[in-house]
Amino acid sequence: MPKRAAEAEITAGPPAEMAARPSLTTLVRLCVAAWLIPGFGHWLLNRRGRAIVLFACIILMFLLGLAMKGEFFALGTGSYLETLGHWGELCVGIAMPAARFFGYAGDPLFVSSDYGTAFLVSAGMLNVLAILDAYDIAMGRKP
């Protein structure tokens, strides 16, 4: 029985653009760059508009969290929620260690401190989504 054209296309193999995948070291470098500087992974992939929007949104969220005197979560407290919060804030990249280096300390008694902490964690989680988006673009899964 002869194969139809649609079946022949499916069994022919992957398309040409999916055949050329980047190496593992290239993907690791891309993801580390995207983690350190929000939006930089998209910049390296020549998605300049998206890179600028992601950088501006993530850094603005982080700065608003600092302005609302949000607290950084501690790592060695023994609480699972505080540990997750710490890793969430660390996902924002170089901004969190830089803020700590320059002596930023949140104020738990400030009226908007809880909102600031939520902004700090949300900025980190948005950066994780940006890293995954850059990875998908590099793998050819997304246009």
Domain contains 8: no
How many residues would you count in the chain?
A: 143
pLDDT at 10 over 80: no
23 occurs within a structural domain: no
Query: In terms of residue numbers, what domain contains 105?
Result: 39-139
Q: Is residue 5 part of a domain?
A: no
Instruction: Name the domain count of the chain.
Output: 1
CA dist., res. 77 & res. 73, Å (int)? 9
pLDDT category at 119 given cuts 50, 70, 90 is: very high
pTM of the entire predicted model: 0.81
63 within some domain = yes
Contact between residue 72 and residue 106 where contact means Cβ atoms under 8 Å apart: yes
Q: Is the pLDDT of residue 117 over 90?
A: yes
